[in-house]
Structure 1
Amino acid sequence: MAKITTLGFDADDTLWHNERVFRLTEERFAELLADYTEKNHLSERLLAAERRNVLHYGYGVKGFTLSMIETAIEVTDRKVSADVIAEILEAGREMMRHPVEPLPHVEDTLKAVKADYHLVLITKGDLFDQERKVTASGLDVHFDAIEIVSEKSEDTYRTLFSRHGTGPDEALMIGNSLKSDIVPALNAGAFGAHVPYDVTWALEEADAPQGHDRFFRLDHIGKVPHLLARLR
């Protein structure tokens, strides 16, 4: 195996909690629309709106908020009140103000590997919100480079691991999303370490690679130093 020189880390739900904030807001959204439709149907309509809108608004709170508004208009047959729209907008603003809580083992892991590897934070989403979360987490000091991208593709990893390291062949990408963090990184030639989070957004679901000698699954991010020791 190639020598690993560069570690790429996903941010949301890999370094800090994120998806649960969306789930809590969706619960609040369901309460606001309870007089018009039942919760499961509303969730299906919201997901369909998110699937359509991610191509236009990108990932993150702003696109999610606009999708909630669109869904509210649809399921109420345009009868939704201005008060409910105002509540949805406020819920979006609250998400943007939500404290950033690092996950267990994260800071210890970053400190343990920093001396021996080039660390790159690779996150996708709204630039303003991702910058806020990176700073609020206090974890930015551990990284040699921070990249906020609109999408994570094979070309993304090939470009970033060449820009900030010795190329994807000598890089390990660590993240909770098989679809965004692992599969495209493997396709670019990198190693991939999947660290599952307890909830996954439906648009980030994908099948785990089978029989790939560069793919690993870890119970938690604290196992990263042990994996690196095995790969030396």
Structure 2
Amino acid sequence: MADRLTAVGFDADDTLWHNERWFRLTQDRFAGLLADYADPDHLSDRLLAAERRNIGRYGYGIKGFVLSMIETALEVTEDRVPAPVIRELIEAGQEMLAHPIELLPHARAAVERLAESHRVVLITKGDLMDQERKLAQSGLGDLFHGVEIVSEKTPEVYARIFARHGDGAARALMVGNSMRSDVVPAIRAGGWGVYVPHGLVWDIEHAEPPTDSPRYRTIADLGELPDLVAAIEAN
């Protein structure tokens, strides 16, 4: 079949396993530690601004998040943040890095089923060591035909990945919980973009859904993905 998909890309964090919830819990802890210096909303805005500034320096992931919290703490306290607060922020980051992986519903079944007929590729961004740890703990690593840990997800990156793991972006599909990183750039590369919503989304990952694209789809959870792939190939 000429239109058969040959590659299916999966995002990792908050698509295959929980991730953002641990950032939110740590951010609540951060707000409590700095309660005497800034109200939670103001602190949240300052932290988000620091994270935006620092993506180019530290990339994505827990380590950059911790450094951004420390930077924000120094800013809002005018360099007077108590040393025990800095220590607790570092410890919070270490706890996040050691947190057990919890798969989302249908994750294993979807990867297993599609791996029988397509090249399945894990495409994620973030800290290399942390992403490798999470993949190893997830128990899904042996199911993937390829693993790509990248610094940013752009149309050019997707084009290169799907050229290596399949027959190009035109015959590939990417599924994930981020419009900005998983859906929009995959479609711009010429592929299919499938949005699977997660209850918590980092503000930086927001983007408008590409509703005008014929290659945009949305599903309620990964349990619907194999049938969607079959429907796309049947048309």
Normalised-by-shorter TM-score class: over 0.9
Share of identical aligned residues, percent? 54
- Residue 231 of structure 1: CA displacement? 1.3
| Equivalent-residue separation in structure 2 for 1:169 and 1:107 (angstroms) | 25
Q: Partner of 1:172: helix, strand, or coil?
A: strand
| Equivalent-residue separation in structure 2 for 1:109 and 1:20 (angstroms) | 22
- Residue 2 of structure 1: CA displacement? 2.5
Q: Which residue of 2 aligns with 1:179?
A: 180
Q: Which residue of 1 aligns with 2:230?
A: 229
Give the counterpart letter for 2:38 in structure 1: T
Q: Which residue of 1 aligns with 2:135?
A: 134
Indicate whether 1:159 and 2:160 are aligned. yes
Q: Which residue of 1 aligns with 2:114?
A: 113
Give the counterpart letter for 2:17 in structure 1: W
Q: Which residue of 1 aligns with 2:209?
A: 208
Q: Which residue of 2 aligns with 1:73?
A: 74
Gaps of 5+ in 1: none
- Residue 228 of structure 1: CA displacement? 1.2
- Residue 211 of structure 1: CA displacement? 2.0
Q: Partner of 1:147: helix, strand, or coil?
A: strand
Q: Partner of 2:162: helix, strand, or coil?
A: helix
- Residue 79 of structure 1: CA displacement? 0.7
Q: Partner of 2:111: helix, strand, or coil?
A: helix
After superposition, give the CA deviation of every residue in 1:158-180 in whole Å (9 maximum; x if it has no partner): 00000111110100001000000
| Equivalent-residue separation in structure 1 for 2:161 and 2:101 (angstroms) | 25
TM-score of the superposition, structure 2-length normalised? 0.97
- Residue 223 of structure 1: CA displacement? 0.4
- Residue 184 of structure 1: CA displacement? 0.5
After superposition, give the CA deviation of every residue in 1:101-121 in whole Å (9 maximum; x if it has no partner): 010011111111111000000
| Equivalent-residue separation in structure 2 for 1:56 and 1:15 (angstroms) | 27
Indicate whether 1:11 and 2:12 are aligned. yes
After superposition, give the CA deviation of every residue in 1:118-147 in whole Å (9 maximum; x if it has no partner): 000000001011111110111111100001
Computed over aligned residues only, the root mean square deviation of the Cα atoms, in angstroms, reads 0.8
Gaps of 5+ in 2: none
Give the counterpart letter for 2:24 in structure 1: R
Q: Partner of 2:28: helix, strand, or coil?
A: helix
Q: Which residue of 2 aligns with 1:25?
A: 26
- Residue 35 of structure 1: CA displacement? 1.1
After superposition, give the CA deviation of every residue in 1:35-72 in whole Å (9 maximum; x if it has no partner): 11111110000000000001110000000000000000
| Equivalent-residue separation in structure 2 for 1:231 and 1:127 (angstroms) | 33
| Equivalent-residue separation in structure 2 for 1:2 and 1:36 (angstroms) | 58
Q: Which residue of 2 aligns with 1:90?
A: 91
Give the counterpart letter for 2:72 in structure 1: T
